[in-house]
Amino acid sequence: MTNLSNPPTIRSAGTFSLGEFTVNRLGYGAMQLAGPGVFGPPRDPAAALAVLREVVASGVNHIDTSDFYGPHITNELIREALHPYPASLVIVTKVGAVRGTDGSWNPAQRPEELTQAVHDNLRHLGMDALHVVNLRVMGEGHGPSEADISEQFAALAELQQQGLIRHLGLSNVTARQVEEAQAIAPVVCVQNEYNLAHRGDDALIDLLAAQNIAYVPFFPLGGFSPLQSTALSTVAERLGATPMQVALAWLLHRSPNILLIPGTSSVAHLRENLATAELTLPDDALADLNRIAQDAASSD
């Protein structure tokens, strides 16, 4: 398997911009550091802190988080493990939801709720200004809806004008909503569901690439329904890699504006994910992988 004895050189995957910041294309998503169901504290807080410290030691300079992970848990862990933060580290958070006492995910989209969320993120992360804040639009399940987002995005743009946010992004949105937000303030990244089998955003990725805007796929490995494909497993075996490494490598190959934030609560799994930077996919492997989405579509 692609698991190097030394820490992987993640810079092999290249870099891309998030506004004024330049980040390595292989980053880290902190969601899995919270307890089961992304709710409550982790089973092993010391292990969670060790993962975060290994993230930075491995050269990752892009961490994705949110104050509704836990809630508050991942941000508090990030602060405990890494504050004061390295100058090169970019922390991206998102607002637009709150957690119920039962662990439910509930919309929190009113301007006053978004303002409160920004202040909560600032406090729990120990920051004077958030590097990037994504407006997480609540749609149907994990997919977007065509709701108007101008009021919400304008509220965040006002906080940006106040100096509390450096850059703005979007999550779980359509191309029309991206255009709607751009009429209010610049957008530096879009975070939507996208992976080998779920390729509905192909046109949006290309549109954003032409504008030098980052695209950050969530559920790059399938999320709550992990990717399962005979073709993926066969390619991985042929390349001496894990299926998840191949799936991540395909995303890196798909477009230079794609930034990856695979999450894990294990140092060993983190290193395995980061080793993807050194995995090259030959043309025949790419052809086999590109057929996965076609097979998924035909089976629907």
- Looking at residue 188, its pLDDT comes to 98
Record the pTM. Answer: 0.94
Q: Which helix (H) or strand (E) holds 18?
A: strand 15-18
Among residues 28, 69, 194, 215, which one is catalytic?
Answer: 69
- pLDDT (mean) for 103-120: 97
Q: DSSP label at 259?
A: -
Phi, psi for residue 95 in degrees, rounded to 5: -135, 160
Question: pLDDT of 171-209, one tens digit each?
Answer: 999 999 999 999 999 999 999 999 998 899 999 999 999
The residues with which 100 forms a beta bridge, in sequence order, are none
Catalytic annotation present for 215:
no
Is the pLDDT at 8 greater than 60, yes or no? Answer: no
- Taking CA atoms, 65 is separated from 33, 201, 220, in Å, by 10, 22, 16
Question: pLDDT of 173-182, one tens digit each?
Answer: 999 999 999 9
* 73 Cβ contact list (under 8 Å, min separation 6): 33, 34, 35, 40, 41, 42
